[in-house]
Amino acid sequence: MHWQLIAECLRQELADYGALLGLYEQQQQSLFARDPDAVLQIGLQIEGQVKTLQDGRSRREQAVSDFALAHGEVPGATLRTLLPFVEADARPLLAALINEVNHLLHRVRRTSHQNHTLLTRTLELQQELLRELRPGLFTKTYSPTGRVSLATSRSAPTLLATG
């Protein structure tokens, strides 16, 4: 097993993380623009990109595992611990790719968390507004674990225009 396959897997993973980060940034722009259709569409694209990323990560992990076994190491060895088995000229390339993947991973996680927070807050504000407009429509209930949820009553009258 050659290190070139691992390098190619890392490059693909970088591209996949970059695409995912771009989608999260588009979603954030759509959230700020209050474009729910775009948010939903981008959410579907994000799901597809996450699947692609997971597949690529699995390929890379398998390549690293095969490389480890080929060099008498345990299959779960990290790529950093395997760098001494890579040609000296290629080590800086692999180290840089590892660092870039980790950097993008942290950016993706941060942006994902920000979007999740924005979506959660938007939902909370929407529910609060609906509770203000139609207080009889919602009933608070508690789950066995103590979590609060809101149940809606389908029999509540609809809003009517005045005049």
Tell me the CA distances in angstroms from 107 to 19, 47, 122, one per residue in order. Answer: 12, 17, 22
16 domain residue, yes or no: yes
Look at residue 157 and tell me if it is in a domain: no
Q: Is the pLDDT of residue 151 over 80?
A: no
Query: 111-134 pLDDT, tens per residue?
Result: 999 999 999 988 888 888 888 888
Q: Name the domain count of the chain.
A: 1
Answer for the pair 26, 32: CB distance below 8 angstroms, yes or no.
no
Q: Is the pLDDT of residue 101 over 80?
A: yes
Confidence of residue 152 (pLDDT cuts 50, 70, 90): low
pTM: 0.78
* Nearest CA among 24, 27, 13 for reference residue 97: 13
Give the whole-number percent of the chain exceeding pLDDT 70: 89
Nearest to 4 by CA among 115, 94, 125, 121: 94
Residue 160: pLDDT above 70?
A: no
Write the DSSP assignment of 88-107 as a string of letters.
Answer: TTTHHHHHHHHHHHHHHHHH
CATH number at residue 104: 1.20.58.300
